[in-house]
Amino acid sequence: MSGLLSRHLVLIALALASGHDHTFEVRLHEESGALQLLQQKLAFGEPTLLEAAEPIYWLHCAKCGSSFINALIHLPGVCPLASSLVVDEQSLGDCYMEKWKFECPEACLAKKFFCPHFSDAFPHQPIDNYTARKGALVGMFRNPEQRILSAYHDDADNFATVNYEDHLQDLLAMHVSGSLNMSVCHQPVPGLSKVPVLEFAESWKGGMTYQLVVEHNNLHPTTQTLDPDRPKMTRADAEEAARRVREGFSFVGITEDWDLSICLLHKMFGGACQASDFEDTRPSSETKSAHADYDIDELMGWHDDVDRVVYDAAVEVFQGNLIAYGVSHDSCRECYSHAERGRVQTA
């Protein structure tokens, strides 16, 4: 297939160079529809889906899957100097997401991947300028109640701890004068006392919406996605956030459907599936994989009816794309086996 393709690319190049389309057209009629389309696109310079989405901007929704970073930076040509790097604790050690921020501009091409700025001390930044990012956004979205329970039980990040604001202050202190002060990078502290689960749920409610709609956040450094006192989101905010998911994202994945999401990403943007695409870099606890569900009875009937609107939109886009790109566990077998993913997860 690739030999055939490159032979035809030479033909196309020759035809274009000579100014005559004759040879090119004759050869095209011999090929299958899909290859024809690809050749036409290449001949007429139409960008691929990946090129059209660049520079890729990852909306890193909190608890939707940090390991998605590895699938993105290994997309073809995006981060040439990160091809053998896996962004995880094993490779980069403690505070690896903070360290990656400093590696990113070296490893990735600015015209292909948007690297968060060093001075953005806080993780899970909002989009900030939707107009500028529209069409280049990619992200995973998670069932709102699962997302919140996952955060509540995440003892590696202490999200639910009493006085979480102090942890945000530590993050600020870690980012000093354009570098990282690693003496402020703390190991997770087990057994800290937590706020009650419903109080936590209320403070995290609408968090995906917040990241999608808040603009010019840098002007308000105390207002941050993970700040328990950040502004509350309304149903109107959620409707706008859902519109952005439908219209502004070049790729939408679903945390619950991780394997299909990764397979879809590669079907759309190219590149082979890799084991690191499937690695759960931040499981909430040793015994809990990212794929098992939390028991929502813990929330006693409480629902995040703001982020539900966003999640429903994301699922709709995702399912539409599964159909449009012919992605199913069956059609993803090659992807899974290339990534040595023997066991297929179902959500």
Is 289 a binding residue for ligand NAG by CB under 6 A? The answer is no
Distance in Å, CB of 254 to ligand NAG, minimum: 28
Is 183 a binding residue for ligand NAG by CB under 6 A? The answer is yes
| 313 neighbors 248 (Cβ within 8 angstroms) | no
Residue with the closest Cβ to ligand NAG? 132
Distance in Å, CB of 216 to ligand NAG, minimum: 6
Is 131 a binding residue for ligand NAG by CB under 6 A? The answer is yes
Give Cα separations from 61 to 136, 163, 196, 215 (angstroms). 16, 22, 23, 16
Is 181 a binding residue for ligand NAG by CB under 6 A? The answer is yes
Is 176 a binding residue for ligand NAG by CB under 6 A? The answer is yes
- The C-alpha angle with vertex 313 and arms to 275 and 282, in degrees rounded to 5, equals 30
Distance in Å, CB of 47 to ligand NAG, minimum: 19
Stretch that binds ligand NAG, among 27-35, 142-150, 176-184, 259-267 (CB under 6 A): 176-184
Distance in Å, CB of 161 to ligand NAG, minimum: 19
Q: Which of 4, 132, 272, 324 binds ligand NAG (CB under 6 A)?
A: 132
Distance in Å, CB of 117 to ligand NAG, minimum: 13
| 100 neighbors 92 (Cβ within 8 angstroms) | yes
Going by C-alpha positions, the residue among 93, 19, 101 that lies closest to residue 60 is: 101
DSSP codes of every residue in 97-145: HHHHHHHHHHHS-TTTB-PPPTT--SSS---B-HHHHTTTEEEEE--HH
Name which of 127 and 273 has its Cβ closer to ligand NAG.
127
User: Helix (H, G, I), strand (E, B), or coil: what is residue 194?
Assistant: strand
Is 2 a binding residue for ligand NAG by CB under 6 A? The answer is no
| 94 neighbors 285 (Cβ within 8 angstroms) | no
Q: Is 129 left (phi over 0), alpha (psi -120 to 50) or beta?
A: beta
Distance in Å, CB of 206 to ligand NAG, minimum: 23
Name which of 183 and 187 has its Cβ closer to ligand NAG.
183
Here's the x/- map for ligand NAG, 203-222, by CB under 6 A: it reads as -------------x------
Q: Which of 184, 197, 296, 315 binds ligand NAG (CB under 6 A)?
A: 184
Local structure of residue 77 (DSSP, 8 states): T
Name which of 74 and 175 has its Cβ closer to ligand NAG.
175
Is 40 a binding residue for ligand NAG by CB under 6 A? The answer is no
Name which of 163 and 328 has its Cβ closer to ligand NAG.
163
Distance in Å, CB of 97 to ligand NAG, minimum: 19
Please state, as a whole number, how many other Cβ atoms lie within 10 Å of the Cβ of residue 63: 25
d(C-alpha 212, C-alpha 7), whole Å? 45
Name which of 4 and 182 has its Cβ closer to ligand NAG.
182
Going by C-alpha positions, the residue among 341, 318, 209 that lies closest to residue 272 is: 341
Name which of 183 and 346 has its Cβ closer to ligand NAG.
183
C-beta pairs of 173-177 under 8 Å, 24+ apart in sequence: 174/95, 174/98, 174/121, 175/98, 175/118, 175/119, 175/121
d(C-alpha 283, C-alpha 63), whole Å? 10
Name which of 109 and 184 has its Cβ closer to ligand NAG.
184
Which chain residues interact with ligand NAG by CB under 6 A? 129, 131-132, 173, 176, 181, 183-184, 216
